[in-house]
Amino acid sequence: MTTSPGIADFISRRAAPIPRFYGEALLDRARRDPRILCLCADLRASTETDIFREALPERFFDVGIAEANMLGIAGGLARCGFIPFVHTFSAFATRRCFDQVAMQTAYPRLPVKIAGFLPGLTTFLGVSHQAIDDVAMMRTLPNMTVIEPCGPEQMAAAVDAALAVDGPVYLRMKRPEGEVQPFTPRPLPLGRAERLREGRDVLVVAAGIMVPKALEAATLLAAEGIEARVLNMASLKPIDADAILEGARHCGRVVTAENHLVTGGLGSVVAEILAEAGVPTRLRRVGLRDTFAEGASPAWLQEKYGLTAEAIVAAARELAG
């Protein structure tokens, strides 16, 4: 086979590789625990599993573009004592093979760790690749744990949290873009909200990419004299109901912010908890509202569909007014 000169230029245009905080953490844990296996459905680089394949090829399996089969294989491996991590985009790990997730991981409570990338509106690849309903599906499954780290600083902790659960876990993860500022790794305690900012006027409950936006919103609100308490809800299930209820009672107003439909995800969880506890509070939910998006740049999409600090500010201002 001959290769045209210069063809490599067209294979990858990326100047520098995206850091692999998740992939490195998984590989590190796998070196210490021989039960960990890595499965992938033809998305090695995009799910940061290429480095696993290079380092531990005998424990890496690319099953091809066949997510349903991947979940079934993972179930079989888990039943024989292994801890398989399966990797694909979030939309394909949930919507495409929900029945297999339910029957081969959740019902039997197997230690299959489902690692999904491209949450919500973080990809230009269009509706097929945009997981806007995955949290709703996964959190409603009995026995399933749902974790969404808020950024690179929680990636390693997300892997540890997944391993700490003796059962199926869904990891909803966003890879970093461009240059990553130096950071200090942070823990991700299951079932515990992380209070990132203290305030008495409004409680902002956020997850994933909406966490830094919530902090940005809190700064903007402070300039208007509105003090926001900000919670990072990386542990979506189990969820820290006490932190939500205590924060709601303390602030009297609640804003949720999620990179997802407001139905079924974080906004719904918070509404359910508040309503069942009978806590009188005003609530606004920031997120997609009964709509699909489209293929476009993530920044443009997040602006268009209101996944912004400004949207959080507007919701908080409305409640405070």
Partner 1 sequence: MSAGAERQPAPRIRDIPRLRAIAHRLRRQVVTMAARKGQGYVQQGLGAADLFTALYFAEMRLDPTDPSWPGRDRFLLSTAHNTAIFYATLAERGFFPAERLPDYVEDGSPLEINASERMGPMVEATCGSLGQGLSVGVGMALAARIAGSPARTYVVLGDGEMQEGQVWEAAMAAGSLRLANLCLVLDLNELQAGGHIDGVIAMAPIDDKWRAFGWHVIRVDGNDMGALLDALDAARARAEGPTCIVARTLTGKGAPCIEGVMAHYMSTPPALAAQVLEELGETAP
Question: Which residues of this chain interact with partner 1, rule CB under 8 A?
Answer: 35, 37, 58-59, 61, 63-64, 66, 68-69, 71-82, 84, 99-100, 103-104, 107-108
On the 0-12 / 13-18 / 19+ scale of CB atoms within 10 A, 139 is buried
Q: Which is nearer to partner 1, 33 or 242 (CB)?
A: 33
Q: Which is nearer to partner 1, 59 or 317 (CB)?
A: 59
In the complex, the smallest distance separating the C-beta of residue 160 from partner 1, rounded to whole angstroms, is 22
Contact partners, residue 82, CB within 8 Å, separation at least 6: 35, 36, 37
The closest of 233, 224, 209 to 139, measured between CA atoms, is 233
Q: Which is nearer to partner 1, 77 or 188 (CB)?
A: 77
Q: Which is nearer to partner 1, 14 or 32 (CB)?
A: 32
Please state, in angstroms and rounded to a whole number, the distance separating the CA atoms of residues 92 and 88: 6
In the complex, the smallest distance separating the C-beta of residue 218 from partner 1, rounded to whole angstroms, is 46
State how far the alpha carbon of 275 is from the alpha carbons of 34, 217, 258, in Å: 45, 26, 19
Q: Which is nearer to partner 1, 56 or 241 (CB)?
A: 56
In the complex, the smallest distance separating the C-beta of residue 117 from partner 1, rounded to whole angstroms, is 21
In the complex, the smallest distance separating the C-beta of residue 64 from partner 1, rounded to whole angstroms, is 7
Residues in the chain: 321
In the complex, the smallest distance separating the C-beta of residue 170 from partner 1, rounded to whole angstroms, is 19
In the complex, the smallest distance separating the C-beta of residue 143 from partner 1, rounded to whole angstroms, is 13
Q: Which is nearer to partner 1, 57 or 295 (CB)?
A: 57
Contact (Cβ atoms closer than 8 angstroms) between residue 227 and residue 203:
no
In the complex, the smallest distance separating the C-beta of residue 63 from partner 1, rounded to whole angstroms, is 5
Q: Which is nearer to partner 1, 103 or 125 (CB)?
A: 103
Q: Which is nearer to partner 1, 115 or 301 (CB)?
A: 115
Q: Which is nearer to partner 1, 5 or 81 (CB)?
A: 81
In the complex, the smallest distance separating the C-beta of residue 59 from partner 1, rounded to whole angstroms, is 7
In the complex, the smallest distance separating the C-beta of residue 76 from partner 1, rounded to whole angstroms, is 2
